Amino acid sequence: MKRFLPLLAAALLAAGISGAQANDRYRERPPLVVSPDLSAPWVLQLQRAPQGARVSGLRGVRVTPAPRQVIRRERRETTRAAPRETARQAEPMVQMAAAAPAQARSAGPQMDPMFLPQTVNYSGPHKPGTIVIETASKFLYLVQEGGQARRYGVGVGKEGFLWHGTETISQKREWPDWRPPAEMIEREKRKGRILPAFMPGGPGNPLGARALYLGSTLYRIHGTNAPWTIGGNVSSGCIRMRNEDVTDLYERVGVGTKVVVI
């Protein structure tokens, strides 16, 4: 009996250990820790280690997945949202781009608004129907009844080309041809600019849309293809007007109209 007791105790102890081992399979296993020198060859075969795995010093390697999937998902969402936001922001830019050509056309040199046509009071000595040109103020007046005048802005002769006097309109021409005088051709040639001997009428012609010839002189009241020069000393003695203004004046006066240049 005394011999049997030690054997029974050993059997019971073995049974308890076996039960503990059986229950141990349901517990959470500790992380696998291996030597750093042995980790790379076989751990990478078990699973693809993400870029950014950490090595925990002498205790071995612990593979920690980097949050790459989260980063990719955020990028995809940003990429999907960006075109919608860009489209909303781009809509006014498209409208601005469409308007750009019109703005570019109006962005060049502009005439001072003070030289636009208007009706003003007139108390001068000249009779209605007379054209009076003040070269100092760069205004042309068509005297009207009732102490008023139709006033237009003009360009006049440059220094050395101003003149004063009284003439009459001898001819009227629509879209006149241009034949520069010989002295003008020679003068411009010395400046390095070659003028044609003849230029047909049209939008590119320096005489513009209409011309009123003054007596037997070489001077004219005419239009221009450079309207921003109105209000300046710009010509070789001719009186320069905007095309729309000289057209308006052309319809109001006839051959024989008196023109006074002061």
- Give the residue from 25, 35, 88, 26 showing the smallest Cα distance to 60: 35
Does 54 participate in catalysis according to the annotation? no
pLDDT recorded at residue 7: 59
pLDDT recorded at residue 110: 87
Query: Is residue 228 pLDDT above 80, yes or no?
Result: yes
Domain boundaries, the chain: 34-73, 113-261
CA distance linking residue 211 with residue 240, whole number of Å:
9
DSSP class of 261: E
Q: What are phi and psi of 4, to 5 degrees?
A: -75, -30
CA distance linking residue 226 with residue 208, whole number of Å:
9
Query: Is residue 147 pLDDT above 70, yes or no?
Result: yes
pLDDT recorded at residue 141: 98
pLDDT one-digit tens code per residue, 15-45 = 555 555 555 555 566 665 555 554 444 444 4
Query: Is residue 164 pLDDT above 90, yes or no?
Result: yes
Cα dihedral value 57, 59, 60, 66, nearest 10: -70
Catalytic residue among 149, 238, 241, 261: 238
First to last CA, the chain: 155
The count of residues in the chain is 262
Structure tokens at 122: 């007139």
Fold classification of 113-261 is L,D-transpeptidase catalytic domain-like (2.40.440)
Query: 103 or 195: which carries more pLDDT confidence?
Result: 195
Structure tokens at 184: 């003008």
pLDDT recorded at residue 83: 42
pLDDT recorded at residue 109: 82
Query: 41 or 234: which carries more pLDDT confidence?
Result: 234
pLDDT recorded at residue 41: 46
Does 126 participate in catalysis according to the annotation? no
Catalytic residue among 222, 237, 253, 257: 222
Query: Is residue 231 pLDDT above 80, yes or no?
Result: yes
Percent of the chain residues topping a pLDDT of 90 = 56
Query: Is residue 192 pLDDT above 60, yes or no?
Result: yes
DSSP class of 207: T
CA angle (158 as vertex; 152, 159 as ends), nearest 5: 130
